[in-house]
Structure 1
Amino acid sequence: MINDTKKDERAKVFDSIYAANVGSYLGMPVYLPNGKLFGTVCAVDPKPYAFTKEEMETIERLSSVISVILENAFTSSYNEVDDKLIRLEKLAMLGQLSAGLAHELRNPMQSVRGFVQLLFEDQKDNHFRDIVLNELDRMNQLVSDFLLATQPTAPKKASCNVTDIVSETVELISNEAILHNIEISFSYELEELTVYGDRAQLKQVILNIIKNGIEAVGQNGRIQIDARVSLSKEEVVIEVRDNGSGIPLSIMGRIGEPFFSTKDTGTGLGLSIAQRIMQEHNGRIMFENQDGGTKVSILLPLNR
């Protein structure tokens, strides 16, 4: 009974071959990294043909090449998943750390700040007092950045005009730009480019991008900001271009990763915070090297 079943199956296979007008067939299996059969590399001729040894070896080599390509593809996918898991673990660990440290650090810093002001109260030259107070304020801001990167506050969303937000941000940072002799220009397609979001958080994103541009161009640089509606008419696009040296391709994939920074004094949290805010607003940030600088595109859903 079993032999009869096998004969029937074999007959069906040969019937299929005859129906497909296959006179000659040469095939080599292709296996996945886990040993599972993926498929075959085959050569078919409608007429009976005796394949040569060289042709058989060619099919075998093709099978090996495809197996290697599949193995690399699977390894790459696994590495990407592992990389994302590592980033999530970093954020989770950072969240636990920052939440505990915020309370422990801020209280003594406020006490130190108060004592410093009292100690220098009667002195005419308050240069050293100002240095200490500025450093304490910087430490406090750093703690705030840790908290914002790992436990961001829920955005208080409302309809807001991107043109106004960018204009206010440029005005806010204009003194720093003048200090470095950097020219910042802003142009917009429409006076009303409305999005639905948290005005303060969106301003922080734009401020972060412009600050990075200022650091990238150095003295006598240029930063051009443009705001417009996307070609799809679905998004507002804010483009920030600088004439700096661009972003090395080797680190392009790590932009926005917590603690990753190319600056000597950077914490690597600025762009991480910006990307987290954009996620909360269903938006995105894209980085692109151009001839003579970098273009950063901030995209937000258009509020109709």
Structure 2
Amino acid sequence: MARYGAVAVKRSLNDWLKYTSILFLILVVSALHYWTSIDYLYLHEIYQRVYYIPILLAAFWYGPLGGVLAALLTSSLYVYHIQAHWAHFPTYTVNQYAEIILYHIVAVIIGFLSRRERRQRESLESTTKELSRAYEQIQQTFEQLKQADRLAALGQLSAGVAHEIRNPLGSIKGSIEILEAEFPPDHPKREFVDIIKEETVRLNTIVGEFLKFARPASPSMQATSLPELVDSTLTLLKKQAEDSHVRLSVAHDPALPDIHLDPDQIRQVLLNVVLNGIQAMPEGGRIVVRSSYRQSEGTALIEVADTGNGQPPPNLDHLFDPFFTTKPHGTGLGLSISYQLVHNHRGSLNVRKNDQGGLTFAISLPAAG
């Protein structure tokens, strides 16, 4: 806000200097006319030409209207001088009045040329901005296509591997349950049975993530209140956040309409992203979730910002890559699945470093179903 105020003050000061310069030049040249004896004809002819400087500046800076106003002020001051000192020289007087007419003609011509040049410059600046936005969109689309190719290839591989693993997992789980009944809790070998059982459950969870990644269900779209969805999701994470000394806060845009989405899938995305933030702050911190409505773009935006240690710049480009993880026991699929689910909603999921040193995940979803 202060920056915009400083810009406004600078612009106001710049305009004041321009007005003052134009007025000062007109008054100085007029004063020279009045103070110089008519015996010095050549000086008066020079002064006549100098009048063009403030008129040209006014026309260049403020267009036809500015130029004509400067010419009118110049004429009003100069006409009185002509009538008072040159009335007995009719031939020269005609020349002076012709010069006054030229002041106005030049002011109009230069003013229109200046206005046209200004409009062309503004048009070029607008075109440059549009090209820049288009280039950014092309880059984003290119990255999304690369991501889609990787997801498609790894999805097929993951589906096959997960299917082959899940079949023997069922047999292992059944066998362990049979063995569990033969070893009471105080048996020295019961510990190994429990370990196998826990690891089987963990492996089954990983296989489930593989299948979600490989064969994500099509979104079942329905009108959903995004603030209610966010609040209910954060309620599920409240206990885990408290245990990790992470404070959750939320801010919603009151103008946000109901959004057509799959509430279960977007809840899963929010769970993955917020959990990622909680796990990134083992010593505690804060996570802020904001929802907003961008009416001009027709999108709803959910931003999840944490105060963790962030990620090195090279890692940011790979956070949504399948199997990429910096956590000792992570699968590297949570954010990849989230990316795919948002993509299936015709939305986008991006990440950037924030001013608090952590990361901000931005989930953009089309407002229309």
Work out whether the TM-score is over 0.5. Answer: yes
Alignment partner of 1:301 is 2:366 = yes
Which is greater in Rg?
A: 2
Query: Residue type matched to 2:277 in 1?
Result: G
| Alpha-carbon distance between aligned partners in 1 of 2:167 and 2:180, rounded to the nearest angstrom | 21
Query: Residue type matched to 1:112 in 2?
Result: I
Structure 2 counterparts to residues 51-70 of structure 1, below 5 A: none
Q: Report how far residue 132 of structure 1 moved.
A: 3.4
Alignment partner of 1:251 is 2:312 = no
| Alpha-carbon distance between aligned partners in 1 of 2:318 and 2:329, rounded to the nearest angstrom | 18
Task: Report the counterpart of residue 119 of structure 1 in structure 2.
Answer: 179
Deviating more after overlay: 156-165 vs 258-267: 258-267
Task: Report the counterpart of residue 134 of structure 1 in structure 2.
Answer: 198
Aligned partner of 1:148 among 209, 212, 215: 212
User: Structure 1: which 5+ residue stretches go unaligned?
Assistant: 1-76
| Alpha-carbon distance between aligned partners in 1 of 2:148 and 2:347, rounded to the nearest angstrom | 20
Structure 2 counterparts to residues 1-304 of structure 1, below 5 A: 90-121=150-181, 123-124=184-185, 130-190=194-254, 193-230=257-294, 232=296, 234-292=298-356, 293-303=358-368
Q: 1:132 to 1:180 in 2, by over 3 A?
A: farther
Tell me which protein shows more strand as a share of its residues: 1
Q: List per-residue Cα deviations over 1:5-57 (Å, max 9, x = no partner).
A: xxxxxxxxxxxxxxxxxxxxxxxxxxxxxxxxxxxxxxxxxxxxxxxxxxxxx
Tell me which protein shows more helix as a share of its residues: 2
Q: Report how far residue 223 of structure 1 moved.
A: 0.9
| Alpha-carbon distance between aligned partners in 1 of 2:252 and 2:146, rounded to the nearest angstrom | 40
Q: List per-residue Cα deviations over 1:62-116 (Å, max 9, x = no partner).
A: xxxxxxxxxxxxxxx9xx97x8887556434423322222232112212222222
| Alpha-carbon distance between aligned partners in 2 of 1:133 and 1:174, rounded to the nearest angstrom | 29
Q: List per-residue Cα deviations over 1:113-133 (Å, max 9, x = no partner).
A: 222223223624676655433
Q: 1:88 to 1:297 in 2, by over 3 A?
A: closer
| Alpha-carbon distance between aligned partners in 1 of 2:172 and 2:308, rounded to the nearest angstrom | 40
Q: Report how far residue 195 of structure 1 moved.
A: 1.3
Query: Residue type matched to 1:172 in 2?
Result: L
CA contact (8 A) 2:256 2:300 kept: no
Task: Report the counterpart of residue 76 of structure 2 in structure 1.
Answer: none
Taking structure 2 as the reference length, the TM-score comes to 0.55
Aligned pair count reads 226
CA contact (8 A) 2:256 2:292 kept: no
Q: 1:234 to 1:181 in 2, by over 3 A?
A: same
Q: 1:191 to 1:267 in 2, by over 3 A?
A: same
Q: Report how far residue 222 of structure 1 moved.
A: 1.1
SS state at 1:117 partner: helix
Identical columns (%) = 34
Task: Report the counterpart of residue 70 of structure 1 in structure 2.
Answer: none
Taking structure 1 as the reference length, the TM-score comes to 0.65
CA contact (8 A) 1:193 1:228 kept: no
User: Structure 2: which 5+ residue stretches go unaligned?
Assistant: 1-137
CA contact (8 A) 1:259 1:268 kept: yes
SS state at 1:170 partner: helix
Query: Residue type matched to 2:174 in 1?
Result: G
SS state at 2:280 partner: helix
Q: 1:196 to 1:127 in 2, by over 3 A?
A: farther
Q: Report how far residue 189 of structure 1 moved.
A: 2.4
SS state at 2:329 partner: coil
Q: Report how far residue 153 of structure 1 moved.
A: 1.6
Query: Residue type matched to 2:327 in 1?
Result: K
Q: List per-residue Cα deviations over 1:150-170 (Å, max 9, x = no partner).
A: 332211111112122212211
Deviating more after overlay: 208-217 vs 283-292: 283-292
Q: 1:86 to 1:162 in 2, by over 3 A?
A: closer
| Alpha-carbon distance between aligned partners in 1 of 2:200 and 2:255, rounded to the nearest angstrom | 40
| Alpha-carbon distance between aligned partners in 2 of 1:274 and 1:227, rounded to the nearest angstrom | 17
Q: Which has the higher contact order (CA 8 A, sep 6+)?
A: 1
